[in-house]
Structure 1
Amino acid sequence: MNSTATDVESIKQVVATIEHAQQNELVEEFVDLFRADAIWTTGGGKRLFGRDEIAAFTRQVLPGGMTGLAVTLEVVHVLFIRDDVAAVKVRQVYVSTDGRPSESEGEGTPLFVMSKEDGRWRLVACQNTGVLDQNPH
């Protein structure tokens, strides 16, 4: 495989853009990261097919959805399936705007499958999963 440190940094930038878009409730910035035929499964298990469905859902939940919250996203592992396809494991932590861990949202462990198209990494198939046991052994 010919994946490079530059690819990893580009993938991390996509994840940073997701964080920025969520924290600032920027629907279009978030939606622009997806391929047109992308699949997204929300933390609540709602399955969304295609950028249009993802956009419609995001327009309903994101504005006002971050009131009193901030989210951090950290890339914890990148597995290159091919040079232009990567599975990206992310640690997602919600905190209140005063920095305390959010009791209602807690932590998530999303998986983002991304593809590199025309030199740009895009979200293709994503699963947002909450962590039930906040103190795993």
Structure 2
Amino acid sequence: MSDTDADIRAITQVIATVEHSQNNELPDEFLELFRADAIWTTGHGRRLFGRDAIAEFTRQVLPGGMRGLTVAFTLEHVLFIRPDVAAVKVRQVYSSADGPGDEGSPMWVMARENGRWLLTACQNTIVVA
């Protein structure tokens, strides 16, 4: 297995952890995935600078925010900018008992630090049909 294959598997695991933390409304699990100085822009354009701001927002919206919903994340593409920095495109689909719903198209810049891939600069975007 190449280093690239191992990195893609590790990035895929971060994506799976984001999915798990959101579906199970686990803010702390979600927040562990970020660098301390991360940037996060929500699907509605709210800009959050630093893990503390991301944590404050997440702890307000995640508990109860997934009531009646599930979300699935699928890795679409990885562009390695450097061996330790990757631009990651993800497909995000929300579902309810009525079937598939809103779709998102997140773009996450991730950095490998101390052997871990961390969310660094992330933009969530709602897909408009």
TM-score, normalized by length of structure 2? 0.97
Distance 2:44 2:32 in 1: 22
Amino acid in the other structure paired with 1:59:
R
Following superposition, which runs of at least 4 residues in structure 1 exceed 3 angstroms of deviation? none
CA RMSD of aligned residues (A): 1.1
The one-letter code sitting in structure 1 at the alignment partner of 2:100 is: P
Residue matched to 1:126:
122
- Give ranges in structure 2 of 5+ residues lacking alignment: none
Q: Distance in 2 between matches of 1:95 and 1:54?
A: 24
Cα distance in 2 between the residues matched to 1:7 and 1:39: 22
- Unaligned 5+ residue runs, structure 1? none
Q: Distance in 2 between matches of 1:17 and 1:99?
A: 25
Where does residue 100 of structure 1 map in the other structure?
A: 99
Looking at structure 1, the residues matched to 10 and 106 of structure 2 have their Cα atoms a distance apart, in angstroms, of 18
Counterpart residue number, 1:34: 34
SS of equivalent to 1:18: helix
| Partners of 2:122 and 2:58 in 1: CA distance | 14
The size of the alignment, in residue pairs, is: 128
What is the CA–CA distance in structure 2 between the aligned matches of 1:46 and 1:33, rounded to whole Å?
19
Identical pairs, percent = 65
1:9: Cα distance to partner? 0.3
Greater strand share, structure number: 2
CA contact 1:3–1:80 (8 Å) conserved in 2: no
